[in-house]
């Protein structure tokens, strides 16, 4: 059976922790930043866990992650 290819777009966006959780950066930090409060920007800086509803699909896209 041939090797499975890693989906590179997903690999750049998602990290798998040692415990197997999927981490991602939050959206909303690219443009129109002037109107967003500093408190919100600090909160958006942190990574968050990817939704569990997508976990199975994301793991298929990252077969060796």
**pLDDT per residue over 9-39, tens digit each?**
999 999 999 999 999 999 999 999 999 999 9
Give the architecture-level CATH label for domain 8-61.
Answer: Irregular (4.10)
Q: What is the pLDDT of residue 59?
A: 96
Residue that has been written with the tokens 């968050």 in this structure: 48
pLDDT cut 90: percent of the chain above it: 97
Q: Model's pTM, two decimal places?
A: 0.81
- CB distance 4 to 61 below 8 Å: no
Residue that has been written with the tokens 């989906």 in this structure: 7
Average pLDDT, the chain: 96
15/13 Cα distance (integer angstroms): 7
pLDDT at 51 exceeding the cut of 90: yes
pLDDT at 65 exceeding the cut of 90: no
Q: Terminus-to-terminus CA distance in the chain, angstroms?
A: 19
- CB distance 31 to 25 below 8 Å: no
């Amino acid at each position: 059976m041939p090797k499975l290819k890693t989906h590179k777009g997903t690999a750049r966006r998602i990290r798998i922790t040692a415990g197997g959780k999927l981490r991602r950066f939050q959206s909303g930090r690219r443009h129109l930043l002037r109107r967003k409060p500093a408190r919100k920007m600090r909160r958006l800086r942190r990574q968050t866990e990817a939704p569990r509803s997508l976990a199975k699909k994301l793991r298929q896209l990252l077969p060796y992650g």
